[in-house]
Chain A
Amino acid sequence: VLLISYREKKRRRIEDLTEKMAVDGGHCDISCDWDGRWNHVRKFLERPGPFTHPDFEPSTECRLVKYLLTCKILVIGAGGLGCELLKNLALSGFRLIHVVDMDTIDVSNLNRQFLFRPKDVGRPKAEVAADFINGRIPGCKVVPHFKKIQDFDESFYRQFHIIVCGLDSVIARRWMNGMLISLLSYEDGILDPSSIIPLIDGGTEGFKGNARVILPGMTACIDCTLELYPPQINFPMCTIASMPRLPEHCIEYARILQWPKEKPFGEISLDGDNPEHIQWVFDKAQERAAEFNITGVTYRLTQGVVKRIIPAVASTNAVIAAACATEVFKIATSAYIPLNNYLVFNDVDGLYTYTFEAERKENCSACSQVPQDLQFPPSAKLQEVLEYLTENASLQMKSPAITTTLEGKNKTLYLQSVKSIEERTRPNLCKTLKELGLSDGQELAVADVTTPQTVLFKLNFTT
C-alpha cells in the first residue's frame, strides 16, 4: 500500500508539473492552413477520453492546436532518429523547430536517413534535413545549426520548451543532460518547475531501442541510469594499454597503439574499408587477446570497432522516433500523461516492449546536488583516482581533468586533453595523494567531456 501511495504521489507530481509546463498560446501564422488540416490532431485535443490527463480540458476553439504551433522544440541530431523526428513533429503541428547536428552526409546514412539523397552526400545533415521538411510541410520552419552541441551556451538552450535527442553517443547525451540540469533553479532547496525543460531521449542499436522522458531534477536523468548503457567504444587509454578485459580492448590496442608504431603499410592511415588493413588489425588483436586470455576477437568485430559501426536499420529508428514524437506531443499539449519513464523496444525475436520507471539515483553526480565523495588512502596514487573516475560504472568519465586549490592557488593535478599540460602533469600520476600535498576533506574539481559543468568531489582519506 505504501508503495502504491508513493507511486501515486509521484505520478500526481509529474501530472502537476507537466500541466504547468504547457506552453503559453501566442501568435502564429495560420494562413497556410487549409480547412481540416489539423483534424487529425484535433481529435486528440477536442474531446475527453479515458486516457487523457486528469486535468485535461478539451477545447474546441483551436486553442490547443495553437499551443502546438507556438511550442519551440529543439531536435538534437539529424541522423536516423532525427530525420524521423523532424517529419513526425512537423506533421503533428510543431512549427518552430531547431535542429543541431555537426555531421555531414555519408553514403552509409542513405539507407535509413530518408531525407537525404545521393546528391546530398558531403552536405551538412542539419541543413539538408531542414530544407526537405520546410519544402514539404507548408508553414513549418525548421532552423538548422551545423554545429556541435557544445558550441551553444545556456541562453541558446533556455529558449526551448522541449528538447528531443536522437543521438548515437552517450557522451553527447550526458553533456545535454548536464546542460539541462544546469538550467534548473532552486529556491530554498525547492525546484522551480518553470526552469525545467523536458528532455525526450531516443536511442537505437540494430533491432533494439529505447525511448525515455526525463524531467531534469524530477525524474531519473541520463547519469542516474548510466549502468544501463553498454560499454562505450571509447575505452579509457589506461585500460587499452595495460589491462585489457574485452575483445574490443585488444582491437583498440592494435588500432591506436600498434598501427602508428609499426606502420605495416607505410605512412598511410588505417582504412576501415581496406580488407588487408582490417586483417592486420585482426591478427594483432588476436595475438594480444591470446596473451591476456581474452576470447571473442573476430574479423567482423574488428571491422565493427575500427569503422565505429553502430548497427542500424530504418524500421527501428522509425518506431523509436514515433514514440519520442508522441511524448513531445503529450507534454506540449498536456492532454495525456507522459511516459513514466523508460520504454524498451526489441524486435529481434517477436515484438517486445516494456515500460518501467527508472529511479533517480540518490547521489547521482549530475542531478542530485549531493556532494560526491572519493574514498582513498593517502598512499593511493593519483593514477588510481583517475582510473576510478573513468571506470566506476556510475561515473564513466572519458578524459577527466583534475584541479584543486593548494595554499590558495589553483593547481592542475592532471589534464589529458592539452598535450603540453599532459606532459607537464603526467609525473603527478605516479605520486601519492599525500606527496601531492592533498589533505583529508580536500575538494577536487573534475572537468570532463561528459558534462558542461565541473563536478566537485570531496576527498576522504581512508586508513
Chain B
Amino acid sequence: MTEIDEGFYSRQLYVLGHEAMHRMGAADVLIAGMRGLGVEIAKNVILSGVKSVTVQDEGHTGWTDLSTQFFLNESHLGQNRATCSLPQLSSLNSHVHVSAHPGPLDKDLLLKFQVVVLTDSSLDDQKRFADTKDSVGNQLFCDFGKDFMVLDQDGEMPASAMIQTIFKDNPGVVICTDDQKHGFSDGSKVSFSGVQGMTELNTRGPWEIKVRSYIGDISGFSEYERGGVVTEVKQPCTISFKPLSEALLDQELLIFNDFGKMERHKTLHLTFQALHTL
C-alpha cells in the first residue's frame, strides 16, 4: 500500500479519511469520450487520487471541441482528442497514472477497470457495455454489480456508552449509565472494552444485542466488577444493483429525494431514453 501524500490531499483526506483514500488509490478508472463532459470528469477523478485513469476517444479534435473542452487548443485540430488531452490531464496529479486509449471501446478493454464512465455513447452501447461490466456510471446511472459491499452504511461515528453493570446470565444483560439514548438498536453488533472483572467480554465478540441490552450467553464468565465501554461494531452489508438494461424498464427504481419535484424524475427518465432514439 502506498503512502498517501498528506500535503497534497490534506483537504480531501479530512472529508474521506485514510481508509477510503486507500481504497480509491487502488482503483483503475476508464473514462470514455474526451469532449467537454468527459474531460471534466477525468479532471476531477484525477485530482481525487485514484490509481490510474485511462481516457478513451476515437475522435479527432474539431473546431467545435475548442469551445467547451478546456484542455484542447488550436494546435490539436485533426488529432486524437484523448491523446491531445493527455499532457494537461497528467500534469494535474503526479500520483495518478494517466494514459490515453485512442482505439475503440470493447469488452476486453472494459474488463481491465474497476470503474467505467461513458460520456459519449449511444444507448445501445451503454446497454451492451453495462451487461458486460460490474461498474458503469453514466447519466448518473450507477451499477456497482450484484454484490457491492458497503462497509459503513451511514458514515456516523459508532455509537458507544459507558457500562453501569452487567448481569451474568444467559442471555447477559448490560445496563448502561446515564439516561441519554445509547443509540443502539435491535440486531446492532457491539464490542466491549475496559471491562474489569468480566474481562472475557473485552477480547471476544462482536456481540449481537437486543435493545434492553441482552447479549449472548455469558453465564460462564467471571463476575463483573466495574468499568468498561460498549461500542457499536459496524456491520458490512451487501447491496445488489440492477444492470442498466433492467433498470431502464423499472419505474420503481427511480427513487427521488427531492419532494418538491415529485413527477419530474419519471419525465426525465423517459426524456433521456427518447433523446437516444433521435
Contacts and interface: CB of A to CB of B under 8 A. Distances in A.
B15 interface: yes
A311 B63 contact: no
Nearest to A138: B74
A145 to B, nearest CB: 23
A449 interface: no
B272 interface: no
Contacts of B94: 118
A349 B43 CA distance: 22
Query: Which of B11, B43, B49 gathers the greatest number of chain A CB atoms within 10 Å?
Result: B11
Query: Which of A37, A111, A136, A207 gathers the greatest number of chain B CB atoms within 10 Å?
Result: A111
A348 B155 contact: yes
Interface stretch (B2-10, B105-113, B226-234): B2-10
B247 interface: no
Interface string B72-86: 011000000000000
A200 interface: no
B11 A111 contact: yes
Interface string A289-324: 000000000001000100101111111001000000
B132 interface: no
Contacts of A91: 67-68, 70
B153 to A, nearest CB: 10
Contact of A313 (B8, B48, B67, B257): B48
Given A87-B70, A110-B8, A136-B73, A314 B48 contact: yes
B271 interface: no
Contacts, number: 91
Interface string A259-284: 00000000000000000000000000
A315 B41 CA distance: 8
Contacts of A318: 40, 43-44
Nearest to A90: B70
A315 B44 contact: yes
A388 interface: no
A314 B8 contact: no
Interface in A82-124: 87, 91, 107-108, 110-112, 114, 117-118
A311 B73 contact: no
B236 interface: no
Interface string A14-45: 00000000000000000000111111110000
Contacts of B14: 206, 300, 304, 309, 311-312
Contact of B7 (A39, A107, A207, A312): A107
A312 B14 CA distance: 8
Contacts of A108: 7-8, 10-11
B9 A111 contact: yes
Interface string A200-211: 000000110000
Interface residues on A, range: 35 or more
B151 interface: no
A150 interface: no
A352 B257 contact: yes
A307 to B, nearest CB: 8
Contacts of B9: 111
B257 A310 contact: no
Contact of A40 (B68, B92, B257): B68
A4 interface: no
Interface string B258-272: 101000000000000
Nearest to B260: A354
Given A37-B66, A111-B49, A312 B258 contact: no
A314 B15 contact: no
Given A40-B64, A136-B73, A351 B140 contact: yes
Given A35-B63, A354-B260, A355-B260, A311 B11 contact: yes
B235 interface: no
B67 A309 contact: no
Interface string A336-354: 0000000000001111111
Contacts of A351: 140, 257
B63 A314 contact: no
Contacts of B8: 107-108, 110-111
B64 A36 contact: yes
A311 B12 CA distance: 6
Nearest to A133: B70
Contacts of B248: none
Interface string B46-72: 011100000000000001101110100
Nearest to A298: B157
Contacts of B260: 354-355
A312 B66 contact: no
B70 A315 contact: no
Given A40-B68, A352-B257, A354-B260, A313 B73 contact: no
B93 interface: yes
A312 B64 contact: no
Given A309-B10, A350-B257, A351-B257, 20 more contacts: A34-B63, A34-B66, A36-B64, A40-B68, A108-B10, A110-B93, A111-B48, A111-B93, A112-B11, A117-B91, A118-B94, A136-B70, A206-B15, A311-B15, A313-B15, A314-B43, A314-B44, A318-B43, A318-B44, A348-B155
27 contacts: A35-B63, A36-B63, A38-B67, A39-B64, A40-B64, A40-B67, A91-B70, A107-B7, A110-B93, A111-B11, A111-B12, A111-B47, A117-B91, A136-B73, A206-B14, A307-B10, A311-B14, A312-B11, A312-B12, A313-B11, A313-B15, A313-B16, A350-B257, A352-B257, A354-B258, A354-B260, A355-B260
A-B pairs, top 10 by smallest CB distance, nearest first, are A314-B47, A312-B11, A206-B15, A311-B15, A311-B14, A315-B44, A107-B7, A108-B10, A314-B44, A309-B14
